[in-house]
Chain A
Amino acid sequence: MGGALNINHLLFLGHGALWTIGLSAIALIGGGSFGFLVALGRVSPSRAVRLLAATYVQIIQGTPLLVIMFLSFFGLAALGLNISPLLAAGASMTIFVAAYLGEIWRGCIEAVPKQQWEAAEGLALSRSQRMIKVILPQAIRIATPPTVGFMVQIVKNTSLASVVGFVELTRSGQIINNSLFEPFIIYSIIALVYFSLCYPLSRLSRRLERTALHKKPALA
């Protein structure tokens, strides 16, 4: 074994980093769409739907992502479904992200002032019109900073996809480490790459939060 860290290793890490971004995008899109349904379910007029959505959130928020990963990779394979690491990781991230984003967005929907709901009702808008034309446009404005903040969590949590053999940044680091055995250097580089992906998002989220604080909503 041995050899030094060279440009090929770095290219391999870069490739892994691209998959980290790709998996984050899958998680954001998949988890976002599903999470939107969860959020709507949480404020549904139907008691059964509310209960179902709340149960989903409670169970997923009470389970580690790592266990969800194992469950969808080994578990579904044991049930005879052949599942690729990408599918397992994407599905796990989607399930996981939906529970958290759903809960964040529920809070944002509920943060739209009560008068807005009442005014929409007073204008005889139907429930879907009220949601689409009145509540959601305002909720989206409230939801932007925490959603960007949660994207940091998404990027970081994709590192757990390494355990099901999905070759993203952390896994590609492990593979390189297996041949070089320079763990401290390699993991430091990986940490740095994660930091450079996440820190701008953290900053952006904080800035959005600050501007949102200063700018009072136009209609309140």
Chain B
Amino acid sequence: MGLVLDFSVVLDRWQALLDGATLTLQLAFIAVVCGAAIGVFGAIGRRSGNALVERLWGAYVEAIRNTPLLVQIFLVYFGLSSLGLQFSAFTVAAVALTINVGAYTTEIMRAGFDSIHKGQIEAAEGLGLSKAQIYWHVIIWPGIERVYPALTSQFVLLMLASSVTSQISAEELTAVANYIQSETYRSFETYIVVALIYVALSFIMRFGFWLLGLALFPRRRRLGTPL
């Protein structure tokens, strides 16, 4: 058969694609913000010195990191509904993605917090800072600063992984693509366009995180290198 690519029918639906991409970014945003919060608490828990707390956070991290996101999404989706709770697909998707990225963030942040030299903490103690102050000024921010590139790539991977939530019919970009290809029978063109949108989104996200890094870590900006 003759190979004729026709992108126009796909591009005509740019409005739907734009809506899907927006939803993808919304999902990623919610999961990144909540996941980062989980990560900070998780990393603190993982190095709390309390064996039970460390075990529990460790179990959470290992359980999430060694099972596929797709299965996690199904478990959250059917788990919540078997408890009699009905949520929209978007909520379920956001919850599942948050739980997922929280585990990875915990592990990355723990590595960052562990990399803070003991002398720094002792110096802070010597200056009479409270425990909370030490955590905030000496461990959390400098720790995050060191692992910021790893966090950034993890968050971009999360945005890409959010495509999996199309399987519980959250109306994000991949779900929109499935809909368009079933309507137009132009599956090759549809998925090419969507793949390019994802590539663009990941570039936008990386650029955004780079800017955010400049704003969050002025020291790094001045020195031009991570600490």
Report which A residues bind B (CB closer than 8 A): 58-59, 61-68, 70-71, 74-80, 152, 156-157, 159-160, 162-163, 170, 183-184, 187-188, 190-191, 194-195, 198-199, 202
Contact = CB atoms under 8 A, between A and B. Distances in A.
A156 B192 contact: no
A163 B73 CA distance: 14
B187 A156 contact: no
A105 B166 CA distance: 32
Central interface residue in B65, B66, B161, B188, by most chain A CB within 10 Å: B66
A184 B78 contact: yes
A199 B70 CA distance: 17
A191 B65 contact: no
B199 A67 contact: no
9 contacts: A64-B161, A66-B166, A67-B195, A68-B195, A70-B187, A78-B186, A157-B68, A160-B68, A183-B82
A183 B191 CA distance: 30
Contact of B75 (A58, A65, A187): A187
Given A190-B71, A191-B72, A152 B198 contact: no
Contacts of A152: 65-66
Contacts, number: 115
Contacts of A80: 1, 3
Contacts of B202: 61-62
A74 B160 CA distance: 20
Contacts of B185: 78
Nearest to A66: B163
Q: Is the interface of A mostly helix, strand, loop or mixed?
A: helix
Central interface residue in A62, A68, A79, A188, by most chain B CB within 10 Å: A62
A64 B195 CA distance: 8
Central interface residue in A64, A71, A194, A195, by most chain B CB within 10 Å: A64
B62 A79 contact: no
Contacts of A184: 75, 78-79, 82
A163 B199 contact: no
A75 B198 contact: no
Given A156-B67, A183-B74, A77 B199 contact: no
